[in-house]
Structures are given as C-alpha cells and as structure tokens.
A and B are shown apart, each in its own frame.
Chain A
C-alpha cells in the first residue's frame, strides 16, 4: 500500500518535472517581462531594511545586543507577516479574475486542462511571486541572528512559517478570485477580508497564544507575537510537544489550505460538473480532525470546573464549525447532473463516491451523520471526563449533557432547514441568506418575546417569563444557570421541550426537502425521457427514410 503510494508520488513528480504546469510557466514568462516587479521588490526591501536598521540602531543604544536581536527579530517577522498576508492574497486575487476580465478564461478552459490543474498553475505562479518577496527580504531578517538573542534555527523556522503563511494567503486569494468576474471586485473583496482576518490571526496566534505557550513551556517568552520558533527549540520533547507543535500547527495549515483549494476547484468547475465531492471529502477529514482537536483542551484542563468550561467551549466551537458546513453545502444542486451520472457510470463509481457527489439530500445526510457523530463523540468524551472527576450527576456533568443535547437538537434543525430552503430556493445565495435570517430570527425573537412579556407583566425576566425564550439556542445558557436550583425544573423542562421541538422540526423539514427534491428530480427525469424518446423516434424515422432511399437507388441501379 505505502509502496504504491510512493510509486504514485514518484511518477507524479517525474511527470511534473517533465511537463511543468503550462499556466505557471506562462505566468512566469509574463512576470519576467514586467518591468515594475524588480522595482517593487527593491522598494519593499529598502523600506524594510531602513525600518529594521533604524529601530535596531535606536534599541542598541540602550539595550544589550541580545535584546536588540530579539526586537529586530520580532519587528522584522511581524512586518513580513503583514506583507505576506496582504500581498499574497492580492497577487493571487489578480490571477483568475484577470483571465475572466481579459476574456482569456474560456480559451484556457477549452484546452481540456482540469480545474485542479488550472488552480495548481495559478497557485504556483502567485506563490513564486510572493516567494520572491520573502527571499529578497531574507538577508534583512537574518540581521537578528547576528545580534544574538535568537538562534539561527529560530530564524530559519520563522522563515519556514512565513512561507506557510504565504501558502495560505495565496490559497485564500485564489479562492476569492475564482468566484469573481472582475479584477477590481476580486482585489477589493480579498483585501477587505485579508486585512481584518490577518490582524485577528496575528493577535490570536501571536501575543494571546504566547501567554498559554509560556504557561505550558516557561522557556518560551510571554507576549511577543513571534513565539512559535522559540517554542520549537525550547519546549521539551514530549506528548504535548507532538500535539501542540506538531499535529495542531499541521492541521492549522493543512485544513484551511485544502479547503481553499477545494473551493477554488469547485468555483472553476462548470455548474453541472461535480463541484461537491472534493469539498465533501475535505469535510469528512476535517470533522473528525477538529473533533479530536476540540477534545484536546479537555484532557489538558487541570480542575473539574476548567474541564467543564473547556467542554462547553469545545462543543460550541465544533457546533459552529458544523453550522458553517451547513452554509457551505447550502449551495448544492438538487441532484447530480446528467453529465455527472454518466461519468459515474463510465468509471464504475461505487456507493461511497456517489454518496459524496452533488445533491441536497446527500449533503444533508452527510452533515447529519458526520456532524451528529462529531458532536456526540465530543459530548461523550466531555461527559466521561467530567463525571470521572466530579461524579455522574454532578452539576458540571448535567450542564455538559444539557449543552450537548441542545446543540445536537438545534443542529438537526439547522441541517433540515438548510436542505428545505435549498430545495425551494432559486439560487444558493437565496438559500444561504434565508438560512442566516431564520437562524438569527429564532435566536433573537424568543428573547424579544420574553422581554416584551416581562415588561407587560412588570416583573422583568423572571423564571416564568424566561421560559418563553426556550426556543432560542442561547436559552441553553439560562438552563445551565438553573441546573443546581430546585426552582429551575420548569425552566429545564421548557428547554428540553424546545430541544425535542427543534430536533423534530429538523427531521420534518428534512423529509419535506426530500419529497420536494424527489418531485423536482422526477419531473426533470420525465422531461428528459420524453425528449430522448422524441429524438429516438426522429432517429428511427430518419433511418427508415435512409433505407428507403438506398433501396430506391439500388432498384434504379438494377433496372
């Protein structure tokens, strides 16, 4: 098995070496003739050098060389991070949208290059360009090492991280670009999203996470944004090293990169092609991976209350991921197109391949099974861990149980609603907007009703009135507050009734969606069969006319 994989990888590499991606080569040629590229590279390098030298010089007058080195290191890589997270997506955003705007896209598409090959070519071209920026800046970044305070390994690791960030940035820009028809729109949307996301990621994965890293490994400095290279070098090699510095960073790069690649490929494929399988394969991998990742903080929590809190946070995060997946698959077609079915038949596609193909009900089933299993598994782990520490019916255990049950029930509703809306909506956008509106409505409206009722009864949000908010998923937090109080039975009862209601409604909507999709697909199939029958009848008539003509010609020839 592994031998076969290695052989396949080797043959793929040899093919790649012999026949490099034509889009990549073409874009490199075009870039090489762009006179402004070296100018921009030189300006960025000079600017960075000036800033680093100025700050380094100022710091060195009052601090030790080691501190100066550390400051230069943090400053350089923070700025490089900014350059990569903005320039990478911008360069990539330019690539596909410019083909569409320049009316060259269809010519490329008709060459028979697969969307995946096109996406790879575009990715390589943009990545090479942003890679040139990083390489040009490398000597400036290496200055920190000369001062001390950081090791050569840390500098090398930081550069490796920069390349990985460039990879994600380029993949992000490509995904946006693949959806956009105009270059300006692609650039605008990419930069508007890349800037806040980049800043948020910098703050979360930088200073904020460095605090946790410092607590876990005191050798890692607390506060600076670029702490990961130091952690790789200074943290003791044990299980937490493997998980936190090996598996988790790997997932943090692989999962979004794979997702963005699949989004790009789906956007580049035709509307009636199979745009679903890739994203569903990603979802099948991402769901268990994220479930395991979400379970990790539970094991790391030291106290019972920390463990319960971590369980609720993990369940919330996983719930949000699965609800996001519902939005992702709300763009599915009602069923596989004729083209897709023919391709499946030709290739002898198995049941699993077909299950992962396009179709609203297929997606709903996948979401229900995988999401339910993920939430259920995480809930089970959380229950086992909290009950082992605090007893089977402790407040913490019951809280985790209620929280997981409400999340699961509401998730069933969201899946059913998503399928139902898509089955009736004219476009994916309409289905997604309606889905968002309904979720927002059911989350907020019950609270408004409860508030109005409280005001009318002049008693505020007391227990009786609070029950009116039970249909809102946020009511689960109110339920958690009453777990330990005897007066909360009624409130808990209302919450449990709401859970049962959401789950039932979800299943009813799923059934309705199934019927609706079935009816539409059957009608389409009937229309197609009628059209085929009509064409076949015409073919037969034409063939009969041909035979008669041949016979007449033969008779003429004979007689």
Chain B
C-alpha cells in the first residue's frame, strides 16, 4: 500500500531578490493532517516560502507541490486546494461579516447560503454576522479571515503569522479554532516567530534561518534526534547539530529545570549543589531553579538525588518548552 502524497512538498527551493538570497535549497514535506509550524526570525525567508506555496511568487529554482500539484505549472488548481491568510491581511470597510463572506463565496464560485452559514457557525461569528467588518476587534477580524479561507473547503490552510498583534484571549481562541480545523482533516501550515504560540498546536516544525532550512520534521522526532546527537557529542562523536543542519555546532547545552518540592527548597538546593552536572541551584519565589549541563538523563539524575536525599518532589518542568529548546539549539541567533 502506498502512502498518500505529502500535503505540502517543498524541494530544493531557492529564490533571490536582486543580490539578496532569500531562500537557498529549502526542502521539507508536510504530511496530510499535520499542523506544521514554520519558525524563523524576521527576514529568515518564511513569507517568501509561503508566497511561493500560495502561487503568488514563482520560484527561481526548485519545486513546490501542494497535494501533488506543482504550484508553478498549475496555480489555478493549487488555489482551489489552499486557503491562504496573509500576515496583516486587510478587510473591506462598509461591509458586514455575512456580506464579506458572501462576496468571497461568490468569488470562489461556491454555493453561497449554506456554506456561508456553516462557516459563520464554525468560526462562531453567527452572532455578529450583521456587524460592519471595519468596526470589529483584531481577533474577530482574524476569525473572519479564517472563515474566508474555509469557504471553498481547502485541504491545506496556509497561515502567515495568524496570531500576531492579537491579545492573549484572541490567541487562545485562534489556537482552539486551529485544533478544531485539524480535527476536520485540514493540513495547517502555520508560520510564526512566537514559539509559545506554536508549541501548543504543532505536530511538526521547520526552522528557517537566513534562507536556509535548519531542521524539519515531527517535533518528537527532532527532539529525539537532538538528544541522540547530544549523547554522541558527550562521548566525543559528531557535534550536536551537525547531523541536523548546516548550522555550526552549538556550545554544550546548558539547561534549566524548575522543581517544586515539599519542605524547605533551600535545603534541596544545598543537596544539589556540587552534584554531577549541576551548574547552579537557587530558590526563586519558592521554586527550586537548577541549571545543569547534559541530556535528559542528567535531569533524571537530579530528581533522583533529591528523592534519595528524602526530598519530596511534587513538580518538575523545564524552564523552556521543547520547541524553544530545539530552536535555541539549532539556530545561530544571528540578527537578520
């Protein structure tokens, strides 16, 4: 049995703007039904990649396929399969929510009344369907944009910084909506430079830096590969990120844990100081913050020291989430 083609396939994509190389040999796949987080600092080439995927820019080299269709050769067919929400996309003034969606439904040539009603329902915009679009909050406008790109029932949603400039509540609402859409079988390609925004929803990621893809794949797989690479590095093998990307090797990772313990956290800190791999141990606002060098095994050893020392550990969490850790380890952090 053959596997379904990837929803998005980017292969050896390169693009220049004059002398500036915006993208260099970028390749990655996004499987059907994934939420793919496309991460990178401003100017890394995220929007250029997205514009190629959305048929708005023809690549200078390489191939991009959406659902197996080449975006260069058949942009019309690709446009029927994607829903693209641009960064800072605008809305029309002097038009109501329903009229806005009806306009796009007619433009997409989809049967208007039923579809528009369904989209209003899905995006929870029914209550404000007669409101003038221009008077809505940013969060509501983003919802409306999401509604717009759902009208023609696309298989792939491409969202460029969908939660930028939104307040926390609107961000949470958008995130929940994205999870709902994934539940409906949509593949979601999500670009952002806000890692916390992506970490809750993404099933796979791609990290772009200075026009080059540093790493791409399922989040767990990348974390495991980094862990393996780190372990290999610890015993004198290849440097940590050499097997993942062309980026230079990072320094041995310094990681931090936040622990909540029963009893006096100061005593727990004393217990840890000088332990294997422990670089620092301090109490901040009642929580024990431990700095250490090493892999997840070192974190487990720290907990074991505390347990052996009779300290009740009631919570262990990394100071940075998995995505932030991966990002920091594989990128150079150059200003772009």
Write the residues of chain A forming the contact surface with B, with a CB cutoff of 8 angstroms.
19, 22-23, 25-26, 29-30, 33-34, 102-104, 106-113, 270-272, 337-339, 342, 527, 531, 534-535, 538, 546, 550
Contact = CB atoms under 8 A, between A and B. Distances in A.
A30 B3 CA distance: 48
8 closest pairs, A vs B, by CB? Answer: A103-B90, A111-B107, A22-B106, A33-B94, A102-B90, A26-B103, A30-B94, A272-B58
B86 A103 contact: yes
B41 interface: no
Nearest to A117: B107
B75 A339 contact: yes
B86 A106 contact: yes
Contact of A104 (B2, B12, B92): B92
A338 B108 contact: no
A109 B3 CA distance: 33
A111 B104 contact: yes
A338 B88 CA distance: 31
A80 to B, nearest CB: 28
B238 interface: no
Given A106-B56, A339-B75, A26 B12 contact: no
B11 interface: yes
A538 B10 CA distance: 13
B89 interface: yes
A527 B72 CA distance: 16
Contacts of B80: 112
B61 interface: yes
Contact of B94 (A34, A110, A111, A534): A34
A110 B55 contact: yes
A339 B72 contact: yes
Given A339-B75, A535-B11, A107 B2 contact: no
Nearest to A530: B61
Contact of B84 (A34, A110, A342): A110
5 contacts: A25-B106, A103-B90, A106-B84, A111-B79, A546-B3
Contact of B90 (A34, A104, A527): A104
B86 A271 contact: no
B148 interface: yes
A531 B12 contact: yes
Given A103-B90, A107-B89, A538 B11 contact: yes
A33 B94 CA distance: 6
Contacts of B212: none
Given A30-B93, A107-B104, A111-B152, 20 more contacts: A19-B106, A22-B107, A25-B103, A33-B94, A33-B132, A103-B89, A104-B91, A104-B92, A106-B89, A107-B89, A110-B82, A111-B79, A111-B107, A111-B108, A112-B76, A112-B79, A270-B58, A527-B61, A531-B12, A534-B12
A531 B104 CA distance: 37
A109 B84 CA distance: 11
A371 B132 CA distance: 54
A49 B148 CA distance: 46
B95 A110 contact: no
B58 A26 contact: no
A23 B106 CA distance: 9
Interface in B68-83: 72-76, 79-80, 82
A22 to B, nearest CB: 4
Interface string B118-161: 00000000000000100000000000000010001000000000
B108 A107 contact: no
A412 B169 CA distance: 68
Contacts of A33: 94-95, 132
Interface string B6-28: 00000110000000000000000
B73 A26 contact: no
Nearest to A34: B94
B49 to A, nearest CB: 15
A34 B80 CA distance: 33
Interface string B280-316: 0000000000000000000000000000000000000
Nearest to A109: B56
Nearest to B63: A535
A239 to B, nearest CB: 49
B274 interface: no
B61 A546 contact: no
Nearest to A21: B106
B62 interface: yes
A56 B74 CA distance: 63
A102 B86 CA distance: 12
B54 interface: yes
A36 to B, nearest CB: 11
B62 A110 contact: no
Contacts of A34: 94
A30 B2 contact: no
Contacts of B108: 111-112
Contacts of B322: none
B109 interface: yes
A30 B92 contact: yes
Q: Tell me which of A30, A102, A111, A550 has the highest count of chain B C-beta atoms within 10 A of its own C-beta.
A: A111
Nearest to B73: A342
A111 B56 CA distance: 12
A534 B25 CA distance: 13
Nearest to A105: B90
Contacts of A107: 84, 86, 89, 104, 148
A26 B61 CA distance: 39
B135 to A, nearest CB: 12
Contact of A103 (B74, B88, B103): B88
B99 interface: yes
B72 A104 contact: no
B10 to A, nearest CB: 12
A535 B91 contact: no
A32 B92 CA distance: 14
B89 A108 contact: no
A270 B73 CA distance: 13
Nearest to B83: A110
A148 to B, nearest CB: 45
Contacts of A337: 58
Contacts of A106: 54, 56, 84, 86, 89
Q: Tell me which of A25, A29, A102, A546 has the highest count of chain B C-beta atoms within 10 A of its own C-beta.
A: A29
Contact of A535 (B12, B103, B109): B12
Nearest to B132: A33
A538 B12 CA distance: 11
Contacts of B94: 29-30, 33-34
A25 B90 CA distance: 19
A535 B93 CA distance: 46
Given A103-B88, A103-B90, A29 B107 contact: no
A531 to B, nearest CB: 6
Contacts of B95: 26, 29-30, 33
Nearest to B14: A531
B54 A26 contact: no
Contacts of A534: 12
Contacts of B54: 106, 110
Contacts of A535: 11-12, 63
A249 B56 CA distance: 41
A426 to B, nearest CB: 9
Given A34-B94, A338-B73, A538-B11, A113 B107 contact: yes
A342 B88 CA distance: 34
Contacts of B132: 33
B3 to A, nearest CB: 8
Contacts of B152: 111
A289 to B, nearest CB: 34
A338 B59 CA distance: 11
A159 B304 CA distance: 93
Contacts of A342: 73-74
